[in-house]
Structure 1
Amino acid sequence: MPSTAVRATSLTRRGLLAAGGALGIGAALAACGGEDTKGGDAAKSSAAAGKSGAWEFKDDRGQTVRTPSVPKNIVAFTGTAAALKDFGVEVKGVFGPTYVEDARTKTRKPDVQAGDLDIDKVTVLGNVWGEFRIEEYLKLQPEVLITDMWEKDALWYVPEEQKDKILKIAPSVALWAAGKSMPAVLQRHTDLAASLGADTQSARIKADKARFEAAAERVRRAAKAKKDIKVLIGSGAPDTFYVSTPVRPTDTLFFQELGVNLVVPDKLDPSGWFELLSWENVDKYQADVIMLDNRTSALQPETLKSKPTWAALPAVKAGQVVPRVTEPVYSYAKCAPLLEDLAKALENAKKVA
């Protein structure tokens, strides 16, 4: 695990959801070789692959990536790679939080963002913010790089200072991980997986989607029955508590659409993602349930126990703090449980604030 100082810096830079201004990664990216701003949709991409062997995919920047054949040497952001795996597409390399190292036993376990990836069978090009081993990337002979996009044209976990070199090696695909509701983002990941050869109409994936839709309806019913229950989306750092706005992240935007009564902070930082509170003022917003960032960069409930102002919050005292998967793995298999857990939390919640 990173030190407290590193963790604090990491959370400040990534914040709740990677504010482009805070990160300094908001500058527009130039299109790399092999990309074109004109092209078709996912269906056209799949059709092209089937007829000619060539592959193309129009990403969420509006750029169309074209390669001579369907890419097999795929490198992706860890969470994106985990989503592709759930759809049946394997990657060669990953970058982003992939493993947590136990300093005592010298062993690794998968990070929460790694999903079902076998972390011993993929090349990890970087495990922390700002780390991307270009030499190892070259050895993989990548045909495409795939990642999330939290701010327009900013490639998630592709270091700004290395970006130009990285994008010259292989074409890139970026899919929104913010500003769109979760069902739309899931559909885009489905489209991408299908273009890469996944059978997205398989019985398993249809069952996963049906489970997701049923879970969404369960949340809708629970939210209607517990409309007085106030839910706060938060993340803890050593000196700061972040209260996220619900209108930009894909998950919380969807929660709002389903009727969940979410706290809306009134004094956002310049990036527009969250309000920063000192621990002395952590009780500014009264909430009955707190959804707490579960990423390894954020402080977890066991650590937060040492902060008296946290322990005094009504939701904490009532045991109504639940994990929030701040960076979801965008497959139906992984997003359905998130909704089921939220529905259960609402169903069991009591008014305490």
Structure 2
Amino acid sequence: MKRLTITSALAVLMAGTASLAIAQEWSFTDGAGNTITLDSPPERIVAFSSSAAGLMQFGIEPVGIFTDDSTSEKSYAEFDLSGIEIVRTAYNELQAESLLAFDADLIVTEYWPRTGDYSGGDAMRPDGQFADIAPIVGVLQGDSVLGLIEDYGRLAEALGADLDAPEIEQKRTAFNQARAQLTAAAEAKPGLTVMAAWADTDSLYVAAPTGAAELNDFASWGLNMVEPDAPEGEYWGILSWENADTYPADVLLLDDRFGTATREAVDAQPLAELIPAVAAGQVGDWPAWWIRTYGAYTAEIEKLTALVENAEVVQE
């Protein structure tokens, strides 16, 4: 009888241990539709620079960051990176040895559905060599920056973040207020047309809003964004400077990812005056592809709102 009791107790203990193991299993489905399942929640996280920003706003700090010349340092400029090792390379030149040194449980990057690419280069794909180092999560770089931020929140919550923490709720509230003010400004200027662009000495590259999540947001919040004639799946409609007036625009937003280079190119080009927005001095910054946090988005929306409020319809 005693033996049966011990056996029964052992069975209960084993069942409890099995339940605990199941409860510790960690699973997450990323933006590319891939499901990552681990025996336990990941603790050592390595992230692409913009992904690090997306997670750190929710209190999830990576042990390492990798970055390349495809991304803007503005993505993570608001954070103190002391104590976090950073590996910088040219695009598509990250080496496996650099990732191995982190002893990572999880690699977080971004998946770009328009091209099927992953931030960090070809080896970051699910069938690439880096997948042999640690499981890779690709957060969806889709048609909304707000959606991107919320997806980072979903991942951060799975990693243990409290999305209802007061400091996070405060940033979310400030963002919602800024977005409402932008919508109100757009409604007050129904005829105002906004164009986003990158430029060099030879050409003006007019951005297709559907290829830039923040421009897609601006359009959904009421701004009348220029839609250039761009090839299917491409990001730009390319114009010679002689044809810079092809698309009427009252406000011009210039790609600011890498500083003032685009604005300097426009300032140095006499033919830029063909654009009504330039002639009227109604030019501002386009935060192109670099926003990953509520705080940064709030600041950029507030700048855009002020520009819209002060702008006039000048196109004929």
Using the size of structure 1 for normalisation, the TM-score is 0.75
Question: Is the counterpart of residue 167 in structure 1 residue 131 in structure 2?
Answer: yes
Matches within 5 A, 1:141-156: 141-151=103-113, 154-156=116-118
Alpha-carbon distance change, 51 to 211 in structure 1, aligned in 2, over 3 angstroms: farther
From 61, 65, 69, the counterpart of 1:94: 65
Offset at residue 291 of structure 1 (A): 1.2
User: Could you list the runs of 5+ residues in structure 1 that have no partner in the other structure?
Assistant: 1-47, 101-109
Amino acid at match of 2:282: Q
Structure richer in helix, relative to its length: 2
- Greater radius of gyration (CA): 2
Q: Secondary structure at the match of 1:198?
A: coil
Alpha-carbon distance change, 302 to 152 in structure 1, aligned in 2, over 3 angstroms: closer
Q: Secondary structure at the match of 1:167?
A: helix
Offset at residue 134 of structure 1 (A): 1.9
Report the counterpart of residue 33 of structure 1 in structure 2: none
Matches within 5 A, 1:148-227: 148-151=110-113, 154-160=116-122, 163=125, 164-179=128-143, 181-227=144-190
Offset at residue 249 of structure 1 (A): 2.4
Alpha-carbon distance change, 334 to 69 in structure 1, aligned in 2, over 3 angstroms: farther
Query: Which string of whole-angstrom CA distances, capped at 9 and with x for unpartnered residues, describes residues 172-197 of structure 1?
Result: 11122123x33333221111111112
Q: Is the 8 A contact 1:134 1:166 kept in 2?
A: yes
Q: Which has the higher contact order (CA 8 A, sep 6+)?
A: 1
Question: Is the counterpart of residue 293 in structure 1 residue 264 in structure 2?
Answer: no
Question: Is the counterpart of residue 62 in structure 1 residue 33 in structure 2?
Answer: yes
Two-structure CA RMSD over aligned residues (Å): 2.7
Question: Is the counterpart of residue 352 in structure 1 residue 307 in structure 2?
Answer: no
Alpha-carbon distance change, 127 to 307 in structure 1, aligned in 2, over 3 angstroms: farther
Query: Which string of whole-angstrom CA distances, capped at 9 and with x for unpartnered residues, describes residues 126-167 of structure 1?
Result: 343223132111100111111122226834323226752112
User: Could you list the runs of 5+ residues in structure 2 that have no partner in the other structure?
Assistant: 1-18
Query: Which string of whole-angstrom CA distances, capped at 9 and with x for unpartnered residues, describes residues 60-79 of structure 1?
Result: 12211122332222122211
Matches within 5 A, 1:1-353: 52-97=23-68, 111-119=73-81, 121-151=83-113, 154-160=116-122, 163=125, 164-179=128-143, 181-265=144-228, 267-296=229-258, 299-353=261-315
Percent identity between matched residues is 28
Give the number of equivalent residue pairs.
Answer: 295
Query: Which string of whole-angstrom CA distances, capped at 9 and with x for unpartnered residues, describes residues 58-115 of structure 1?
Result: 1112211122332222122211111211111111222334899xxxxxxxxx822223
Offset at residue 237 of structure 1 (A): 3.2
